[in-house]
């Protein structure tokens, strides 16, 4: 498991800051499996939705990023609609031990505001971005508890 005291401290930080729109808590008694949530940012198709995130903490954390994926189904060009896998640089090669679970969750919120170009040869990123705006609102309403227009 990762640094036990650091993970506890990070979870306390998430619980303390209720205005950030992110939460993280242990699944059961183990600190290597967490459940997180992010609220959809205002002014986006995901507004007022609450999205559940599965978080796996690797044994080398914080020197290796947490493994995160969306549990709540979502339509977004950087998130797999089938597996919930997330394409975000700080969860891969741009991770730094200075980052935290909370900053990673806040980065996911920011990703919902501003989809990033897809790297690694995935075609259709722009089209997926436009489609995400159209389908995102419907997804949010049906799966994340967001309001109907």
Q: Which residues are catalytic?
A: 87
Cα–Cα distance for residue pair 71/73, rounded to 1 Å: 6
Counts of helices then strands in the chain (DSSP H, E):
3, 4
Rounded to whole angstroms, the Cα distance separating 54 from 12 reads: 18
Token match 């979502």: residue? 74
115 contacts 134 by C-beta, under 8 angstroms: no
Q: What is the distance between the terminal CA atoms of the chain, rounded to a whole angstrom? A: 44
Separation CA 48–CA 68 (nearest Å): 21
CA dihedral for 17, 22, 28, 32, sign (positive or negative): negative
For residue 14, say if its preceding peptide bond is cis, omega within 30 degrees of 0.
Answer: no
């Amino acid at each position: 498991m990762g640094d036990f005291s650091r993970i506890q401290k990070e979870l306390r930080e998430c619980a303390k800051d209720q205005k950030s729109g992110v939460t993280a808590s242990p699944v059961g008694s183990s600190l290597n499996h967490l459940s997180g949530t992010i609220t959809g940012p205002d002014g986006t198709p995901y507004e007022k939705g609450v999205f559940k995130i599965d978080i796996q903490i690797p044994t080398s954390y914080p020197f290796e990023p947490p493994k995160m994926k969306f549990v709540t189904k979502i339509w977004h060009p950087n998130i797999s609609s089938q597996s919930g896998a997330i394409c975000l640089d700080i969860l891969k090669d741009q991770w730094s031990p200075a980052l935290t679970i909370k900053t990673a969750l806040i980065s996911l919120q920011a990703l919902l505001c501003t989809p990033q170009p897809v790297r690694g040869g995935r075609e259709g990123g722009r089209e997926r971005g436009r489609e995400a705006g159209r389908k995102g609102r419907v997804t949010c309403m049906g799966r994340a508890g967001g309001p109907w227009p």
